[in-house]
Amino acid sequence: VWKDAMRDVDTEVTSITKSFVNHVQTSLARQPYNLDNLGAYQAAALSVRDNLLVNWNETALQYTRKAPKRAYYLSLEFLMGRTLDNALLNLGLKDQYSEGVKKLGFSVEDILDQERDAALGNGGLGRLAACYLDSSASQELPVWGYGLRYKYGIFQQLISPAGDQLEAPDPWLDNQNPWELPRLDVSYEIRFYGQAERLGDGTPRATWSGGQEVLAVAYDVMIPGCYTKTTNNLRLWESKPKRGFDLNSFNAGNYEGAVEASNSAAAITSVLYPNDHTTFGKELRLKQQYFWTAASLADILRRFKNIGKPITEFPDYVAIQLNDTHPTLAIPELMRILIDEEDQPWSTAWQIVTNTFFYTNHTVLPEALEKWPVPLMEHLLPRHMQIIYDINLLFLQSVEKKFPGDRDRLGRMSLIEEGFPKQVRMAYLACIGSRKVNGVAELHSDLVKTTILKDFVEFEGISKFGNVTNGITPRRWLDQCNPELSSLISSTLKVDKAVWLKDLTRLEALLPFTEDEAFRKEWAAIKQRNKERLAHHVQTTLGFTINTNAMFDVQIKRLHEYKRQTLNILGVIHRYLTLKNMSAAEKKKVNPRVVFFAGKAAPAYYIAKLTIRLIVNVARIINEDPDTKDLLQLYFLPDYSVSLAEVLIPASDISQHISTAGTEASGTSNMKCSLTRMLVDGANIEIAEEVGESNVFFFGHLTPAVEDLRYQHTYHPTPIEEKCPALANVLNQVSAGLFGDAHVYEPLLNTIRQGDHYLLSDDFDSYIAALAMVDEAYLDQTEWVKKSIRTTAKMGKFSSDRAINEYAESYWNIEAQKIA
Ligand code: 26W
């Protein structure tokens, strides 16, 4: 329907060149004949934006007219990457634009390459939010995102000559952002600090006054669906001072004082916190969380009020998804509005709240569970702290009723953790304030229910707790980043990509083609060209020459001990040492391998940064060693980003997902790499269930064994020399300075020698054995390509369309809206 016969491509191309030239002259005020690629990108983006705006307006209008129930996705991170290519593909205009700009003397690739990533996120959680927006629009669901418009996104990663990670700011807005619309007319006043006083009139009401007030101003980002008119909205808030500056101070000659308030207001949305899985209890971060949830709720409430329904019907029109605990303050904030401003009784307010919110947990690592010090909360948000105490009191009373006299349980379940200082447990607040709670893969959701929220399952009943296995958008992660594979699939299946991209289970029809030699050849040839594309990229950006006849092995994700990049690099060293001891004849049988790492470390995460340094310095030695360099190469690619992932993933033969069992909630790059992968964690088990165990390489201990092993490490430690001589040897070589810096790596190596919390010494031998199996399997190229095809064919489940439909049906209760 979308690609209807009425579309006349020639006319489209002509109107594209017209609109392009028009934007060059009138929006950019430049001349078409001496335009550079950046100018061409801007003109093309503005011209595409015109298309999006028409659809975006119509979508908004229809939602307003029909007033369906809507869902709002609150996420502190949206890792969007680039927009132009995605928009062109979703609009079905890529070919027309390519031709149009070619006529004007540009290449579409060069133009696309000018765009800076919108990198308003750290890793998995932020990219998941971006995939869900794409799927919501593509599935025609009325879903809006709410986030913050950080002036600086995730830092740019540089690697110093010594191999250390350095961080530079990410000024992504410097060249202007054609994809956002400032909405200076949409703004809200947000209060901090001040005094809260209960009215004491028999109602639960209180007043909150004084303190600091800042403005939240809306910036809207269009989210086009794939082959549909539906174009949803991502609303990002920017902070601004309520008054430009203090005129009294200015007039009194105190110029610095005059801009101080203005600076502190602007600081709220100035930078994305670069921490993944760790909190530091920083006041500015808490300010960000409240600023964003308060502005979003005010906006949602205003829209609801326009429908003219009684406030008790709020949950019939609004579902709010909390992406991890970061937006949990929305719960006491909605209570505050309902009680203090709408004059609702407590029980009605709680009823509304607990039917509106849904909470997704993304990690069970204890250090990643957010807690805020009570004194900080009391100071910054005095009214919310009162409300949290009230919620807690009533909650604990009902627990006491169900489990009389169980004091331990009350202590465990309290929203307030005792200690100095006391802390508010945000995951518990999110849990009791929500209609439903879910994890992000079967294994992870089970762990949520049996570990961190066990008491809550016992108290509230199991039916409140569910699972929605993560997904990824096949538009970006197949069609856009691997266009040749996409067209091979369409031509082989004789199905337009408009169909299979929106119903990824159709890929199953590829299975019979595993037996088709011509198809397999083409499949392998595309992989080869993708490898060359990556090699070219590395050559031009870093100056390294890569052996494209080797197996490409990637580990691409945030640096974290639980993800075990260390296991991988120690495995590489083991391989290197083994190669060094081989005869020429033995070496002939070895399959060359290139190992790529990419990923950022939190700036204060010392051990993660040391891992990067080790990788870089091992690479330096290995890549120069004439004995081995044809058989083993190692690269750390700096500044991992969505755009770099789009080049790396289609080129990979194998991707490593080797976290300690039970620690990775889901993982999503495992889905993107849609070929052979490793270990028993997160969604990997479900991937193996789908694609078949023969197409993945598992190793190591399983989740139930982890606790026992850790107990052994603590109370009956065995020296590594005894337990795992191969690993001991590798550690000793590093200690001895084989890769330079003799003592520098000791703190990293000691995490394994002492405690070994992530069980490297337990899993090392079976890890090496699994890698050998991978080598073995790769030698049989026919079978290897079959594995690759089978894996892709069975990836249907991991489309984010499937995931978002589960949320829509089983959580939010919203329906698709056809935009005419
Ligand atoms: C406040 C500190 C903080 C910051 C970020 C705590 C926790 C987080 C995130 C929840 C970390 C994260 O990104 N988790 C990842 O979420 C992905 C999407 O569900 C999963 O695929 C990953 O397994 C999980 O680590």
Three-state secondary-structure class, residue 224? strand
To test the pocket of ligand 1, the residue of 287, 363, 804 to mutate (highest count of ligand atoms within 8 Å of its CB) is: 363
In the reported structure, the alpha carbon of residue 425 is separated from the centroid of ligand 1 by a whole-number distance in angstroms of: 17
551-556 and 654-655 beta bridge pairing: parallel
Nearest CA, atom 12, ligand 1: 125
**Ligand 1 atom with least separation from CA of 77:** 5
From 816, 799, 811, 808, select the one nearest 128 (Cα to Cα).
799
Beta carbon of 558 within 6 Å of any ligand 1 atom: no
Q: In this structure, what are the phi and psi dihedrals at residue 95, rounded to the nearest 5 degrees?
A: -65, -40
Identify the residue whose C-alpha is closest to ligand 1 atom 16. Answer: 125
Is residue 371 left, alpha or beta, with left meaning phi > 0 and alpha meaning psi from -120 to 50? beta
Confidence at residue 681, expressed as pLDDT on a 0 to 100 scale? 64
Q: Is the CB of 595 under 6 A from ligand 1?
A: no
Report how far ligand 1's centroid is from the alpha carbon of 276 (Å).
6
**Which residue has the least CA distance to atom 7 on ligand 1?**
277
| Residue-level pLDDT at 675 | 46
d(CA 784, CA 675) in angstroms, rounded, equals 10
| 554 contacts 655 by C-beta, under 8 angstroms | yes
Q: How far is the CA of 260 from the centre of ligand 1 (A)?
A: 35
Q: 279: Cβ below 6 Å to ligand 1?
A: yes
Determine whether the shortest distance from the Cβ of 443 to ligand 1 is under 6 A.
no
Q: Residue 275: CB within 6 Å of ligand 1? A: yes
* Pocket residue to mutate for ligand 1, from 75, 78, 122, 125, most atoms within 8 A of Cβ: 125
| Residue 125 near ligand 1, beta carbon < 6 Å | yes
509 alpha carbon – ligand 1 mean position (Å):
34
Rounded to the nearest angstrom, the distance between the alpha carbon of 362 and the centre of ligand 1 is 5
Using CA atoms, how far residue 375 sits from 292, 378, 526, in Å, is 21, 5, 58
Give, rounded to a whole angstrom, the gap between the first and last alpha carbons of the chain: 12
Which is the closest atom of ligand 1 to the Cα of 278?
A: 2
Find residue 159's DSSP bridge partners.
Answer: 165
CA angle 670, 514, 768 (to 5 degrees): 45
**Would you state the pLDDT for residue 697?**
87
Is the CB–ligand 1 distance for residue 362 below 6 Å?
yes
* Atom of ligand 1 minimally distant from the CA of 370: 1
Which atom of ligand 1 is the closest one to the Cα of 444? Answer: 23
Distance of CA 312 to the CA centre of its chain: 34
- Ligand 1: which residue has its CA nearest to atom 13? 125
Domain boundaries, the chain: 67-82+117-385+805-812, 480-798
* Catalytic residue set: 362, 557-558, 563, 668, 672
Exposure on the CB side of residue 509, measured as CA atoms within 13 A: 14
The finding on whether 439 has its CB within 6 A of some atom of ligand 1 is: no
Among candidates 181, 79, 59, 42, which has minimal Cα distance to 477?
A: 79
Instruction: Give the pLDDT of residue 1.
Output: 39
Query: Does 682 sit in the ligand 1 pocket, CB within 6 Å?
Result: yes
The CATH number corresponding to 480-798 among 3.30.365.10, 3.40.50.2000, 3.10.560.10, 3.40.50.300 equals 3.40.50.2000
Fold of the CATH domain 67-82+117-385+805-812:
Rossmann fold (3.40.50)
Task: Tell me which of 148, 272, 276 to substitute to probe ligand 1's pocket, judged by most ligand atoms within 8 Å of the beta carbon.
Answer: 276
666 Cβ below 6 A of ligand 1: yes
Give the pLDDT score at 820: 83
**Is 756 a pocket residue for ligand 1 (Cβ < 6 Å)?**
no
Report the pLDDT value the prediction gives residue 602, as an integer from 0 to 100. 97
The pick from 79, 292, 362, 445 for probing ligand 1's pocket by mutation, whose C-beta has the most ligand atoms within 8 angstroms, reads 362
**Minimum CA distance residue for ligand 1 atom 8:** 277
Centre of ligand 1 from the C-alpha of residue 375, in Å: 26
Q: Where are the beta strands (DSSP E) in 317-435?
A: 318-323, 357-360, 371-373, 416-417, 423-425
pTM of the complete model: 0.97
426 touches ligand 1 (CB under 6 Å): no
Amino acid 471: pLDDT: 97
DSSP 703-770: HHHHHHHHHHHHHS---HHHH-HHHHHHHHHHHTTTTS-TTTTHHHHHHHHTT-TT-HHHHHHHHHHH
Q: Which atom of ligand 1 is nearest to the CA of 368?
A: 6
Ligand 1 nearest atom to the CA of residue 667, by list position: 21
Distance 72 CA to ligand 1 centre (A): 19
pLDDT at residue 551 in the model: 96
Question: What is the residue whose two structure tokens read 């079905």?
Answer: 92
Residue 798 Cα to ligand 1 middle (Å): 18
Distance 363 CA to ligand 1 centre (A): 6
**CB 278 less than 6 A from any atom of ligand 1:** yes
Question: Can you give the pLDDT at residue 309?
Answer: 98
Tokens of 132: 């869900």
Which residue's CA lies nearest to atom 10 of ligand 1?
362
Map residue 798 onto helix, strand or coil: helix
Task: Please name which of 365, 377, 383, 452 lies closest in space to residue 416, comparing C-alpha atoms.
Answer: 377
* Domain 67-82+117-385+805-812 identical in fold to domain 480-798: yes
ipTM rounded to 2 decimals: 0.97
Please give the distance, rounded to the nearest whole angstrom, from the Cα atom of residue 280 to the centre of ligand 1: 15
pLDDT average per 10 residues of sequence, the chain (820 residues): 64 93 96 92 97 97 98 98 98 96 96 98 98 98 98 98 97 94 97 97 96 97 98 98 74 76 89 90 95 98 98 98 98 98 98 98 95 98 98 98 98 98 98 98 97 98 98 97 97 97 97 98 97 98 96 97 98 98 96 97 98 98 97 98 97 94 91 63 80 86 91 92 97 97 94 95 95 93 94 95 98 96
Q: How far apart are alpha carbons 788 and 782 in whole angstroms?
A: 10
C-alpha of residue 667 to centroid of ligand 1, in Å: 9
Would the CB of 664 count as within 6 Å of ligand 1? yes
